Structure 1
Amino acid sequence: MKSKLAGLVGIMLLGLSGTLAWGQAQPVKLRFGHAHPTSDSQHIAAVEFARKVKERTQGMVDIQVFPNNQLGNDATMIAGVRGGTIDIETSGNPFFTGIVAKLNVLDLPYLFENNTHVAKVLDGPIGRSLLNELEPFQMKGLAFWEVGYRSLANSRRPVNNAEDIKGLKLRTTPNQAHIKAFQLLGAAPQPMPFAEVYAALESKALDGHENPPNVMLSTKMYEVQKYLSLTKHAYTGLIVVMNKKRFDTLAPEYQQVILQEAASAAVLQRDLNAKGEAAALAELRSHGMQINEKPDVNSIRTVVRDETRKMFIEKNGDELIKSIDAAR
């Protein structure tokens, strides 16, 4: 009798331990916000991320995606994640640089050689160390996705070289390197939440902005911009963050699934952007945009690259830049 009872208890404990080893007893619902429309690669990646997490946790972690600023603009969503009112969000790296100054390095003009260089840095130890810098600010960095290579569009004139940028009123991100670069080029940079940009361009309060072609297409910027020049003057990463306390309360197995699938979604999203650029440019042309695919990039690089690096090094030292350059 005692042996049967002991066996029964053992079976029960084994079943219980299996349950505890794989997550919480109750399903977890998480809200994930971003600023872009459902046609954008950011949303496609977010939906796939949510699907895979739900599948791998057998429905125990259910991520609901809220696109198109439904949960607020970038600054509002970041504040929401830090405060715990939003579980997950993704915004461009420049929106985090006021919190972690080291992140400014990623927005330096002409920092990355190519997409392979980007992946080595952002998906490797350098990227993880930068994401970890967010933890004291109540955020768990899950992965770097991407906004992509920024190019310049405006409604006033074609941009063929650095001289053509002078005098343009341009929306930039709040990143110091972006602002400094356009000041050096003689433009009037004006930081502004992305959700406000279209209206500012439509009203002519701004002459132009700088974003990857796929973003210009998904947000219909061609309706208010005539000229696009593929300056590719800076690369912008997209940081996916989660409220740290919320992340820490999840079972370790769930934490690993979330981190792994966030990384997988990064690969998916970058691939979508790379494959979609030619199609995006063709469609922008079909809507009447005049596109200069080969502007004089060297004239722009000569003005901005060294000065913006110098500004970063004065505040943060040169070790991080050297590490990124060495990963080429």
Structure 2
Amino acid sequence: MSYFRKIVVSAATLLALTSWSAQAKEFRLGLITPPPHIWTKAAEAFGEELSEASGGAHSVSVFPARQLGNEAEMLQQLQTGALDMAFMTVAEVSNRAPELGAFYAPYLADDIGHAGRILRSDTAKSMLEPLPGQVGVVGVGYGMAGLRQIVSRGEINSSEDLSGLKLRITPFTPILDFYNAVGAAPTPMPLPAVYDALANGQVDAIDMDAELIWVLKYYDHADTIVQSDHMMFPMVGLVSAKVWAGLSDDDRAMVAELMAKHVDSTIDSYVEKEAGWLEQIEGTGKAYKKVDASFFGDAIGEWNAIWSEKTSSLDALRETAASTQ
């Protein structure tokens, strides 16, 4: 049974359990990313194609840049049906579905293209199946941002130089565990606050992808950029399970197909553009260091020990990663 067929069948079960009966026509879709971001552009393209495919019956209003709240707040809105859809970091969803934390295994992916192949695998898709019952959302497919890099206000020559540094992270457990193992002081912080925090020394370093390092000019207040490529950063297209249950089978199939198409398109965008962003960042004249897994010493083993007990999906993802190299 295909993944789309499975989520349509699971939605039928949800429909029997809910009083939600009105078929959604004007969808609201929330994101945390700014308007120029690849995810936001993909959301807008999804809305345009859905409107066209439905003959104008459906429309999507896209609310970027946390207009509807942070991701935790948007996820709550999805659970109640107050928000119809979101393009959301798997990081936030993993706070409620810990199995998804396996995606953040350090160096699971060899490079950006390999990360895309992992996310397109049957193993990855199967990890979305429990979400309607577990979290109250339907996951239709994955996108991603680039691999994670480190930007520091000070000189970084080894992982020991990260010890004690206030290092901005996305607020979720897998990356918190990683930087605790490194010996840094991981500091959760929303994206809009990052530039000023780095400028005024509120944080000493940040964990970020190449797109935002370049586009939002985080390198302005950096002495060192470490290209570590240490972690992938998936995104997932979500529909409120309550909203989903009120749709016809045909509309579910249309929404699932088109949303999956456009979240998946972000993978191709990052595969195409990431090397260029990194080249431009390297050309800023800041100290630029390329490192591999050995840079982090024992931290990777510590993370693996912690997460092998938290998720049963880690071994399956590692097998998938090995088979898609």
Alpha-carbon deviations, 1:233-274, whole Å to 9, x = none? 100101221111111211222212222222221332122222
SS in 1 for 2:276: helix
Cross-structure match for 1:245:
242
> What one-letter code is carried by the residue in structure 1 that aligns with 2:179?
F
CA RMSD of aligned residues (A): 2.4
Cα pair 2:34 2:40 within 8 Å, conserved: yes
Q: Which moved more, 1:315-324 or 1:267-276?
A: 315-324
Alpha-carbon deviations, 1:18-61, whole Å to 9, x = none? xxxxxx99871001111111211111111111111111111112
Shift of residue 289, structure 1, vs aligned partner: 5.8
Cα distance in structure 2, aligned partners of 1:73 and 1:90: 12
Q: Does 1:169 align with 2:170?
A: no
Cross-structure match for 2:290:
294
> What one-letter code is carried by the residue in structure 2 that aligns with 1:294?
K
Cα distance in structure 2, aligned partners of 1:198 and 1:182: 20
Shift of residue 192, structure 1, vs aligned partner: 2.4
Alpha-carbon deviations, 1:104-135, whole Å to 9, x = none? 10011111233454334322322222212221
Q: Which runs of 5+ in 2 are unaligned?
A: 1-20
Alpha-carbon deviations, 1:187-240, whole Å to 9, x = none? 111122323323322331111111111022333323443431111110010122
Cα pair 1:27 1:60 within 8 Å, conserved: no
Kindly report which structure 2 residues correspond to 1:1-328, keeping only aligned pairs within 5 A, or say none: 28-136=25-133, 137-157=135-155, 159-284=156-281, 288=284, 290=286, 292-295=288-291, 297-317=292-312, 319-328=315-324
Q: Which runs of 5+ in 1 are unaligned?
A: 1-23
> What one-letter code is carried by the residue in structure 2 that aligns with 1:259?
A
Q: Which moved more, 1:52-61 or 1:28-37?
A: 52-61
SS in 2 for 1:38: coil
Cα pair 2:282 2:288 within 8 Å, conserved: no
Closer, same or farther in 2 for the Cα pair 1:204/1:247, shift >3 Å?
same
SS in 1 for 2:264: helix
> What one-letter code is carried by the residue in structure 2 that aligns with 1:152?
I
Cα distance in structure 2, aligned partners of 1:151 and 1:254: 40
SS in 1 for 2:33: coil
Cα pair 1:153 1:210 within 8 Å, conserved: yes
> What one-letter code is carried by the residue in structure 1 that aligns with 2:182?
L
Identity of aligned residues (%): 24
Cα distance in structure 2, aligned partners of 1:77 and 1:27: 18
Cross-structure match for 1:10:
none
* Length-normalised TM-score, structure 1: 0.83
> What one-letter code is carried by the residue in structure 2 that aligns with 1:243?
S
Cα pair 1:110 1:301 within 8 Å, conserved: no
Shift of residue 316, structure 1, vs aligned partner: 2.8
Q: Which moved more, 1:270-279 or 1:232-241?
A: 270-279
SS in 2 for 1:234: coil
* Length-normalised TM-score, structure 2: 0.84
> What one-letter code is carried by the residue in structure 2 that aligns with 1:154?
S
